[in-house]
């Protein structure tokens, strides 16, 4: 009898060009390499300097997302790029893709968008694949039962030239979420609760596999939200076993197998879930029924509380360094220990990002906003994750709901999640954001970020203060 | 990459936990297409005042920290973004090694690729190093790669873990891209027997 294997082990084993030895890491084959303008230029420079080629341009695809503006199109239907650095970076990507024959989703074109939104929606992301990108949120694609993780620019060069990476096998961690989520409690709240419980370093060295009743009940988009923030818990990758929900999502997508090929692929994908009795190196647990909407108060994604709770006190911190970290974080955020966040005034609302910039996220936010208006003095930015999400939202009239409420409806991109373009939160202002990181200065120098679900962010938009979305539903 | 055997360097401590890569190098410095000038952006939020002048309170701006080549930092150093600009910036500034109780996975991998040593020590040794930096700011440590030890001023030696392959590459200046290109035959054989239906060309 063969040893039961986890989902991760099955994907890993199927991609070993050379197995690892005590002296050498495995040579791991990469099925899909996603690239964007920010972390690829130096890698192309390197392979060009060595006279190397891109080994598999047919397994490589590029989009523009990080440094692109999200300002409305001009009269010619073009998204104007004015930042000289961004212009240079985008031009460099065009040149690199043209020279090496890599398809590119050009800014403003129908398929362009955030790399982790376009991969799945185009059907590029498929179960059992190995997927990498020079971006830590590549973990998103694990929602399909792919092994997907972020890499640095040196490794981008490795994959361009060889379609492989040198990798040591990670350990596995089963993350079980039992029970059912209550109304108004979303996938974002699950992952924020997990990171609050186990910390931002809790997953270091592990690949997460999310499982349990609550996970199985989630849509693909919700699963992507969870896998996306695995990296915020320290895990380089997070995976969810493919099932009917996965296959249904993929059917008919442009790059997914079609017809009989699709049926054959599904038959193959059905063998991917972890075997009964497969051993994990570590386990984590959450009870879905206990969860409420979450919000962060500090400067890393682990500094989160139930929205009905209070900011921790220094005394509640176990060790001196955690106390110091909390003290510094609260000073930056200008929040008081022991006080609730409910009712705290906010200045800006950001709905978007690879975490929560998909159509279901926009539907949720629009559902809550509909018939209401954005509170006076609050700026609300809605940034679709891709041009396709934008088109779909417009077809459904969501843009009209947002605009009628007084929100800004913008072009697709990473936007205020990392504020590489002009979409910034002003210094000292509070943003409630559906993105993934609340680091010091992440959304602009001096910005104060409260991470939450799109639903919670939308609730704050209409009241102007931190609000439990369940009270408005 | 040049071979690395030992690093003898002045230590400076930044005793904060979970220093994320947005702090190491903020996103505004990522709009470059080269690796030039990243040293200036290192820790820029902490290093500079709002008007761009150096913040005299920040540890790296203090006179006693000048010339430091070994950074001592709190646990989970380099968390967050996968930007290799973070280790590039540390190296460009002059750091050759970072000592911490733990590193984020992607940061560690990136640092090893460029010869910036991520040295993992136990919490007691870390605390001791932080105290040394505070009390005797001119202190130097010796990092010996072959024996995987950090020698403190008193002669005390602290071991650190390091993957054998990374160690071999660092000690011998082995270029990992060169190494992976030598696997061409095995890669071709793998591709021949593992066809993937996906074609990004449409």
Burial A250-271 (b: 16+ CB within 10 A, else e): beebebbbeeeebeebbeebee
Q: Residue B153 has what pLDDT?
A: 84
Q: Please give the full DSSP string across B49-94, using - where no structure is assigned.
A: -TTSSB-TTSGGGSGGGTT--EEEE-SSBTBS---THHHHHHHHHT
Query: What's the rounded Cα separation, in Å, for the pair A170 and B109?
Result: 13
Flag if A14 and B194 touch (Cβ within 8 Å): yes
**Tally of structural domains, chain B:** 1
> Using CB atoms and an 8 Å cut-off, which of residues 34-63 of chain A contact chain B?
38-39, 41-42, 45-46, 50, 52, 55, 57-61
| Rg of chain A on CA atoms, in Å | 22
Judged by a CB distance cut-off of 8 A, whether residue A426 touches chain B is: no
Contact between residue A44 and residue A179 where contact means Cβ atoms under 8 Å apart:
no
List alpha helices for A163-203, DSSP H. Answer: 187-198
Q: Is A123 helix (H, G, I), strand (E, B) or coil?
A: coil
A372 exposure class (CB count in 10 Å sphere: 0-12, 13-18, 19+): middle
Of B27, B34, B106, the CB nearest to A420: B27
The beta strand positions in A320-462, using DSSP E, are 348-351, 379-382, 408-409, 430-433, 448-451
Residue A47: CB partners within 8 Å, gap ≥ 6?
A53, A54, A157, A160, A161
Contact between residue A403 and residue A409 where contact means Cβ atoms under 8 Å apart:
yes
Averaged pLDDT for residues B169-194 = 96
Contact between residue A140 and residue A236 where contact means Cβ atoms under 8 Å apart:
no
In a domain, B106, yes or no: yes
Q: Residue B1 has what pLDDT?
A: 82
Judged by a CB distance cut-off of 8 A, whether residue A22 touches chain B is: yes
Residue closest to B181 by CA, chosen among A39, A50, A61, A134: A50
Flag if B187 and A152 touch (Cβ within 8 Å): no
In a domain, B145, yes or no: yes
In a domain, B178, yes or no: yes
| Rg of chain B on CA atoms, in Å | 19
Contact between residue A240 and residue A210 where contact means Cβ atoms under 8 Å apart:
yes
In a domain, B122, yes or no: yes
Smallest Cα distance from B9 to chain A, Å: 26
In a domain, B198, yes or no: no
Of B114, B186, B200, the CB nearest to A17: B186
Mutate to test the interface with A, among B21, B79, B110 (most CBs of A within 10 A): B79
Flag if A153 and B28 touch (Cβ within 8 Å): no
Judged by a CB distance cut-off of 8 A, whether residue A265 touches chain B is: yes
Residue closest to A128 by CA, chosen among A275, A271, A281: A271
Nearest CA in chain B to A301: B80
Domain housing B160: 6-193
For residue A466 the two structure tokens come to 């931190």
Which pLDDT tens digit goes with each residue over B126-159?
999 999 999 998 899 999 999 999 999 889 999 9
Q: Residue A317 has what pLDDT?
A: 87
Which pLDDT tens digit goes with each residue over B32-81?
999 999 999 999 999 999 899 999 999 999 999 999 999 999 999 999 99
Q: Residue A1 has what pLDDT?
A: 61
> Using CB atoms and an 8 Å cut-off, which of residues 293-332 of chain A contact chain B?
300, 302, 321-322, 324-325, 328
CATH code for the domain in which residue B30 is found: 3.20.19.10
Query: What's the rounded Cα separation, in Å, for the pair A197 and A318?
Result: 14
In a domain, B68, yes or no: yes
Query: What's the rounded Cα separation, in Å, for the pair A170 and A399?
Result: 43
In a domain, B200, yes or no: no
| CA distances to A351, A436, B67, B96, B106 from A231, in Å | 20, 10, 34, 26, 10
Size of interface A-B (CB pairs under 8 A): 213
Q: Residue A352 has what pLDDT?
A: 98
Q: Residue B139 has what pLDDT?
A: 92
pLDDT in tens, chain A (473 residues): 689 999 999 999 999 999 999 999 999 999 999 999 999 999 999 999 999 999 999 999 999 999 999 999 999 999 999 999 999 999 999 999 999 999 999 999 999 999 999 999 999 999 999 999 999 999 999 999 999 999 999 999 999 999 999 999 999 999 999 999 999 999 999 999 999 999 999 999 999 999 999 999 999 999 999 999 999 999 999 999 999 999 999 999 999 999 999 999 999 999 999 999 999 999 999 999 999 999 999 999 999 999 999 999 999 888 888 899 999 999 999 999 999 999 999 999 999 999 999 999 999 999 999 999 999 999 999 999 999 999 999 999 999 999 999 999 999 999 999 999 999 999 999 999 999 999 999 999 999 999 999 999 999 999 999 999 999 99
In a domain, B72, yes or no: yes
Q: Please give the full DSSP string across A82-114, using - where no structure is assigned.
A: --HHHHHHHHHHHHHHHHHT--EE-TTSTT-B-
Element (H, E) at B150: strand B149-151
Q: Residue A296 has what pLDDT?
A: 98
Smallest Cα distance from A462 to chain B, Å: 30
């Amino acid at each position: 009898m063969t040893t039961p294997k986890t989902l991760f082990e099955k994907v890993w084993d199927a991609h070993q060009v050379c197995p690892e030895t005590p002296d050498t890491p495995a040579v791991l084959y990469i099925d899909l390499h996603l690239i964007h303008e920010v972390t690829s230029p130096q890698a192309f420079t390197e392979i060009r300097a060595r006279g190397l080629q891109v080994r598999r341009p047919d397994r490589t695809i590029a989009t523009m997302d990080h440094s692109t503006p999200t300002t409305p199109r001009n009269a010619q239907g073009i998204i104007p790029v004015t930042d000289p650095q961004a212009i240079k970076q985008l031009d460099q990507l065009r040149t690199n893709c043209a020279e090496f024959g890599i398809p590119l989703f050009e800014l403003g074109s129908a398929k362009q968008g955030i790399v982790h939104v376009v991969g799945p929606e185009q059907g590029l992301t498929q179960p059992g694949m190995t997927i990498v990108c020079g971006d830590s949120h590549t973990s998103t694609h694990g929602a399909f039962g792919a092994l997907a993780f972020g890499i640095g620019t040196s490794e981008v060069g490795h994959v361009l030239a060889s379609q492989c990476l040198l990798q040591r096998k990670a350990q596995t961690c089963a993350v079980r979420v039992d029970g059912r989520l209550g109304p108004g409690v979303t996938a974002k709240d699950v992952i924020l609760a997990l990171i609050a419980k186990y910390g931002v370093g809790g997953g270091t060295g592990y690949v997460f596999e999310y499982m349990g009743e609550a996970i199985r009940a989630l849509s693909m988009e919700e699963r992507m939200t969870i896998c996306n923030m695995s990296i915020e818990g320290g895990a380089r990758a997070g995976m969810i076993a493919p099932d009917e929900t996965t296959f249904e999502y993929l059917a008919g997508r442009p790059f997914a197998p079609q017809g009989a090929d699709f049926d054959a692929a599904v038959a193959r994908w059905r063998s991917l879930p972890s075997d009964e009795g497969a051993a994990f190196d570590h386990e984590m647990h959450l009870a879905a029924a206990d969860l409420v909407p979450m919000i962060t108060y500090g400067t890393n994604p682990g500094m989160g509380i139930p929205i009905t709770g209070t900011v921790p006190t220094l005394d509640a911190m176990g060790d001196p360094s955690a106390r110091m970290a909390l003290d510094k974080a609260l000073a930056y955020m200008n929040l008081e220990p022991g006080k609730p966040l409910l009712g705290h005034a906010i200045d800006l609302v950001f709905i978007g990002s690879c975490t929560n910039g998909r159509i279901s996220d926009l539907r949720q936010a629009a559902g809550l906003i509909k018939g209401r208006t954005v509170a006076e003095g609050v700026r609300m930015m809605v940034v679709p994750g891709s041009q396709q999400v934008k088109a779909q939202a417009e077809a459904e009239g969501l843009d009209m709901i947002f605009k009628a409420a007084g929100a800004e409806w913008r072009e697709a991109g990473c936007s205020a999640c990392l504020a590489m373009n002009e979409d910034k939160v002003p210094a000292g202002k509070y943003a409630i954001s559906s993105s993934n990181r609340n680091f010091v200065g992440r959304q602009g120098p001096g910005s104060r970020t409260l991470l939450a679900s799109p639903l919670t962010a939308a609730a704050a938009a209409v009241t102007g203060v931190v609000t439990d979305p369940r009270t408005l539903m | 990459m040049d071979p690395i055997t030992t690093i003898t360097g002045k230590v400076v401590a930044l005793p904060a936990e979970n220093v994320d890569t947005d702090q190491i190098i903020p996103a505004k410095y990522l709009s470059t297409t080269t690796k030039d000038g990243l040293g200036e952006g290192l820790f820029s939020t902490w290093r500079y005042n709002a008007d761009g002048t150096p913040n005299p309170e920040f540890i790296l701006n203090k006179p006693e920290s000048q010339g430091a080549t070994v950074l001592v930092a709190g646990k989970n150093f380099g968390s967050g973004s996968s930007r290799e600009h973070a280790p590039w910036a540390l190296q460009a500034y002059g750091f050759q090694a970072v000592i911490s109780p733990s590193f984020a996975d992607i940061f560690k991998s990136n640092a090893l690729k460029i010869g910036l040593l991520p040295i993992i020590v136990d919490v007691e040794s870390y605390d001791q190093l932080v105290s040394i930096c505070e009390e005797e700011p001119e202190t130097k440590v010796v990092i010996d790669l072959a024996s995987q030890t950090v020698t403190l001023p008193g002669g005390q030696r602290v071991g650190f873990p390091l993957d054998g392959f990374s160690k071999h590459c660092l000690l011998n200046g082995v270029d990992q891209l060169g190494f992976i290109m030598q696997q061409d035959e095995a890669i071709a054989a793998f591709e021949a027997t593992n066809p993937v239906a996906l074609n990004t060309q449409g």
